[in-house]
Amino acid sequence: MIVGYSYPGDGLDSVLKPGKALIFDRTKNLEADIARLTAAIVGELETQIRQLPEHCFYL
């Protein structure tokens, strides 16, 4: 899974900045898997937002 971050470009353009690939191995515990994947996604989003916080409208 790759988490992307989109921000305004020139004029009406948008720029998509892809994050690092999140490698995720499933286990037999679905709830734990969902919690780990959610934490990884939020962590990647946080990294991207910290790089360009002025482009963040909603969290």
pLDDT digit string, tens, across residues 17-53: 888 888 889 999 999 999 999 999 999 888 888 887 8
Interatomic CA distance for residues 3 and 45, integer angstroms: 7
More confident residue, 33 or 7: 33
Q: Which of 40, 3, 7 is nearest to 18 (CA)?
A: 3
Domains of the chain, residue spans: 2-55
The amino acid at 51: Q
